Amino acid sequence: MRLLSALVCATALLVGIEPAMAEYPDKPIRIMAPYAPGGNIDVTARIIADKLKDVLGVTVLVENKAGASGMIGGDVVARSAPDGYSLLVAANSLVVVPVIYGNAPYDWKTAFQPISHLQSVPAVIVVPPSSPIKTLADFIALGGDGKFSVADSGVGTTNHLVLELLGEATGAKYTLIHYKGSGAATIDVIAGQVPAQVDQLNAAIGHIKAGKLRAIAVSSDKRVPQLPDVPTMKEAGVKGLENFTFATYTGLFGPAKMPPDVLAKLNAAMKTVLTDPAVVQRFADLTAETSWSTPQALAAMLDQEERTVVPLVKKLGIKAE
């Protein structure tokens, strides 16, 4: 049988006919979640992978590789073959982190191919249930001398940027404790090792509803239906925060120079995934809003991020520790 297959291929080449190539995808796809398990990126990647495997008919695996605020895992994908089998879930911090580190292994504009926007979610400030902090005003007041500790999911992540934006608006300063993902930070806050944390609401809401954490305020424009008693940051009555809103959005990416047909198939698959009622509901239960986009629209969102957030990062002189 092997000899027959070899003869068929050789005959095809002799008469100028190329052997048929397997249609994409024909093997497992890996989605890189470049942070520790339990955070927004990890949760998003797993929800997407669970449905994408049904849409494409192949196994879709999620791999966590934390470090350097997502750049270590991102670099793995950037260096992968652009064949559609190595993908990346990343947040809008993809634009900011290389500026903060200053020696990024890649240029996000040339290293990655945007595929589709996935979901957006507000940030939330959380404390242990026994904390004396009851309001955002209390939290801001504790930032008077820079000694109060607050956890986030890493230098340059959107959680970190929320704290910097709050400080820029109010003058508050904190001792920031940067973890390699929000999951580890949450564990320490629940245990009382750190008194407060900024996290994406979809990663924290399970702990909030279980009574392990107490939400102080959310960064959305309006109160979220799942937590109707938690005020927005705009409602805090704190000078400088009258119009404060912020959202983390995530997207799906592949390495640059992906074949157009593979990109088109993945984008179409993501439209199916992100409009599936079960997927929409899973994200809604986590306070996240799904939204499919074209690759061009996601690229435009990142360009806007570079024009608005990167200048603030440079102004504040935020650098990796």
Position 284 in a domain: yes
| Residue 264 φ/ψ, nearest 5 degrees | -65, -40
Claim to verify: residue 116 and residue 252 sit in the same structural domain = yes
Query: What pLDDT was estimated at residue 12?
Result: 43
Q: Is the pLDDT of residue 7 over 60?
A: no
Banded model confidence at residue 13, pLDDT cuts 50, 70, 90: very low
Q: Is the pLDDT of residue 73 over 80?
A: yes
Position 221 in a domain: yes
Looking at this protein, which amino acid is placed at residue 75? D
Query: What pLDDT was estimated at residue 320?
Result: 82
Query: What pLDDT was estimated at residue 316?
Result: 82
Percent of the chain whose predicted confidence (pLDDT) is above 70: 93
Position 2 in a domain: no
Question: Which whole number is the average pLDDT over 185-206?
Answer: 95
Claim to verify: residue 106 and residue 150 sit in the same structural domain = no
Claim to verify: residue 36 and residue 132 sit in the same structural domain = no
Claim to verify: residue 96 and residue 137 sit in the same structural domain = no
Query: What pLDDT was estimated at residue 39?
Result: 86
Tokens of 162: 């929320």
Claim to verify: residue 101 and residue 157 sit in the same structural domain = no
pTM: 0.80
Domain boundary among 236, 257, 277: 236
- Give 47's contacts (C-beta < 8 A, 6+ positions apart): 279, 282, 283
Question: Which whole number is the average pLDDT over 164-176?
Answer: 95
The pLDDT mean for the chain works out to 91
How many domains does the chain divide into?
Answer: 2
Least confident range of 21-25, 113-117, 165-169, 278-282:
21-25
Claim to verify: residue 134 and residue 206 sit in the same structural domain = yes
Domain boundary among 202, 236, 270: 236
* Pair 24, 265: CB distance under 8 Å: yes
Looking at this protein, which amino acid is placed at residue 222? K
- Give 214's contacts (C-beta < 8 A, 6+ positions apart): 126, 127, 128, 129, 131, 208
Position 258 in a domain: yes
Cα(250)–Cα(286) distance, integer angstroms: 14
Tokens of 306: 């570079």
pLDDT digits (tens, 9 = 90+) for 288-300: 999 999 999 999 9
Claim to verify: residue 291 and residue 280 sit in the same structural domain = yes
Position 146 in a domain: yes
Claim to verify: residue 95 and residue 137 sit in the same structural domain = no
Cα(227)–Cα(229) distance, integer angstroms: 6
Claim to verify: residue 141 and residue 192 sit in the same structural domain = yes
CATH number at residue 76: 3.40.190.150
Banded model confidence at residue 21, pLDDT cuts 50, 70, 90: low
Position 213 in a domain: yes
Position 321 in a domain: no
Domain boundary among 236, 271, 305: 236
Position 279 in a domain: yes
Query: What pLDDT was estimated at residue 138?
Result: 97
- Give 294's contacts (C-beta < 8 A, 6+ positions apart): 116, 267
**Which residue intervals of the chain are DSSP H helices?**
2-14, 40-56, 71-78, 93-101, 108-111, 136-141, 158-170, 182-190, 201-209, 260-274, 277-285, 295-316
Claim to verify: residue 100 and residue 24 sit in the same structural domain = yes
Banded model confidence at residue 315, pLDDT cuts 50, 70, 90: confident
Claim to verify: residue 42 and residue 22 sit in the same structural domain = yes
Claim to verify: residue 115 and residue 264 sit in the same structural domain = yes
Domain that holds residue 307: 8-120+248-316
CATH number at residue 200: 3.40.190.10
